[in-house]
């Protein structure tokens, strides 16, 4: 009897998957699955024979020239994980508005839309008068295009204006958020779920030092596994419930999520802000936490053999 096929979708920058996922093919093989690896936009791949397709290192999907093609590719798949409708929604951080409407606290955000045709002066007036702030495109991967700036520095403020205009000119919505001091103090917490169940959590060290900006480069993450507190676990569940309710409402039916990562940061007042929910190409820190790789392989196997 032939084994079921699982194709791990990646991009040309990571033709053999990224380092975090490289143990996954062997783990799937040990579970009676034939693993394959394919670049999502490789014209030589016959995706009708790909079996279950698990999106992994598809880090280039957010580039403007790729995004529409990526969504068309995802919709063409017979058995994508995560589902194409989820990818369509979560590829763009406007989903944060939907989760906020469901009561999930997000970092206060000013949304600068390309359709507004803002001038440099208009962009300037939307920045805060003091403190540090962050500029990021609404469609991005791996922190690409994100920068931290200082409101009271003319040089930094000018750089923020130029970088914002860079994104807007390329049709990208820009998010402007105040930089939270709690990030410098405690970093971010990532909660990783497989098939709706918490697998593991990691603490991420601050990435954006005061002089950091990256218009087109990817940020390197430094993580350490740890057990979430009961409050953190409960807050993650709150986000997960809102997430699934939103997916059900948008799709008109229940769609099971294979993997998702919830990134939170302290709000400085005993609670948390949601930074983002990652369901497309999220690093899942499989090498950072004991048992994480096995948990992910088990979760895939459950979906394959259902």
Residue indicated by tokens 């040089």: 155
The yes-or-no verdict on residue 216 having pLDDT over 50 is: no
Which pLDDT score, from 0 to 100, does residue 8 have? 98
Q: How far is CA 94 from the centre of its chain?
A: 12
Nearest to 177 by CA among 109, 278, 271: 109
Tell me, what DSSP letter sits at residue 290?
Answer: T
The yes-or-no verdict on residue 170 having pLDDT over 70 is: yes
User: What whole-number distance in Å separates Cα of residue 28 and Cα of residue 297?
Assistant: 6
- Average pLDDT, stretch 173-202? 89
The yes-or-no verdict on residue 68 having pLDDT over 90 is: no
Q: What is the pLDDT of residues 113-139, one digit of tens each?
A: 999 999 999 999 999 999 999 999 988
- With contact defined as beta carbons under 8 Å apart, do 56 and 17 qualify? yes
Confidence band, pLDDT 50/70/90 cuts, at residue 109: very high
Domain 107-176 has CATH 3.30.1490.20: yes
Domain ranges of the chain: 3-88, 107-176, 180-290
Architecture per CATH, domain 180-290, reads as 2-Layer Sandwich (3.30)
The yes-or-no verdict on residue 77 having pLDDT over 80 is: yes
Maximum C-alpha span of the chain:
68
The yes-or-no verdict on residue 213 having pLDDT over 60 is: no
User: What whole-number distance in Å separates Cα of residue 237 and Cα of residue 132?
Assistant: 30
Which pLDDT score, from 0 to 100, does residue 215 have? 46
**If you count them, how many residues does the chain have?**
306
- Average pLDDT, stretch 289-304? 97
- Write the CA distances from 5 to 19, 23, 48, 124, integer angstroms: 22, 17, 11, 52
**Which tokens sit at 278?**
């990652």
Which range, of 88-92, 182-186, 285-289, averages the lowest pLDDT? 182-186
- With contact defined as beta carbons under 8 Å apart, do 176 and 134 qualify? yes
**Which tokens sit at 144?**
């690409």
Q: Is the pTM of this model over 0.85?
A: yes
User: What whole-number distance in Å separates Cα of residue 164 and Cα of residue 110?
Assistant: 12
| End-to-end C-alpha distance for the chain, whole angstroms | 17
Sign of the alpha-carbon dihedral angle for 78, 239, 261, 300: negative
Confidence band, pLDDT 50/70/90 cuts, at residue 243: very high
User: What whole-number distance in Å separates Cα of residue 230 and Cα of residue 233?
Assistant: 5
The yes-or-no verdict on residue 102 having pLDDT over 60 is: yes
Which pLDDT score, from 0 to 100, does residue 16 have? 95
φ, ψ dihedrals at 129, nearest 5°: -85, -15
15 or 67, greater pLDDT: 15
Give the percent of the chain with pLDDT over 70.
Answer: 93
The yes-or-no verdict on residue 146 having pLDDT over 90 is: no
The yes-or-no verdict on residue 62 having pLDDT over 80 is: no
- With contact defined as beta carbons under 8 Å apart, do 281 and 111 qualify? no
Arithmetic mean of pLDDT over the chain: 89
Q: What is the CATH number of domain 3-88?
A: 3.40.50
Q: How far is CA 101 from the centre of its chain?
A: 20
């Amino acid at each position: 009897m032939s084994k079921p096929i699982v194709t791990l979708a990646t991009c040309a920058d990571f033709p053999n998957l990224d380092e975090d996922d490289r143990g996954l093919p062997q783990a799937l093989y040990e579970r009676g699955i034939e693993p394959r690896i394919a670049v999502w936009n490789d014209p030589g791949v016959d995706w009708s024979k790909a079996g279950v397709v698990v999106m992994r290192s598809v880090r280039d999907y957010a580039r403007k020239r790729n995004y529409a093609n990526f969504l068309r590719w995802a919709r063409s798949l017979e058995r994508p994980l995560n589902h194409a409708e989820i990818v369509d929604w979560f590829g763009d951080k406007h989903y944060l508005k939907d989760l906020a409407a469901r009561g999930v606290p997000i970092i206060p955000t000013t949304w600068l839309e390309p359709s507004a045709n803002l001038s440099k002066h208009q962009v300037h007036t939307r920045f805060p008068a003091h403190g540090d702030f962050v500029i990021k495109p609404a469609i991005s991967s791996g922190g690409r295009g994100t920068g931290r700036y200082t409101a009271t520095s003319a040089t930094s403020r000018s750089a923020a204006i130029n970088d914002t205009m860079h994104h807007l000119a390329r049709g990208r919505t820009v998010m402007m958020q105040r930089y939270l001091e709690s990030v410098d103090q405690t970093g971010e917490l990532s909660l990783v779920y497989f098939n709706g169940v918490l697998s593991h959590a990691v603490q991420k060290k601050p990435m954006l030092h005061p002089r950091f900006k990256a218009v087109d480069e990817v940020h390197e993450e430094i993580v350490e596994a740890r057990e979430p507190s009961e409050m953190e676990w409960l807050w993650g569940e709150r986000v997960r419930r809102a997430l699934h309710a939103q997916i059900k409402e948008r799709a008109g039916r229940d769609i099971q999520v294979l993997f998702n990562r919830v990134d939170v940061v302290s709000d400085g007042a005993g609670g948390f802000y949601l930074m983002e929910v990652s369901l497309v190409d999220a690093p899942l820190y499989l090498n950072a936490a004991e048992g994480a790789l096995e948990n992910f392989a088990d979760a895939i196997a459950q979906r394959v053999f259902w």
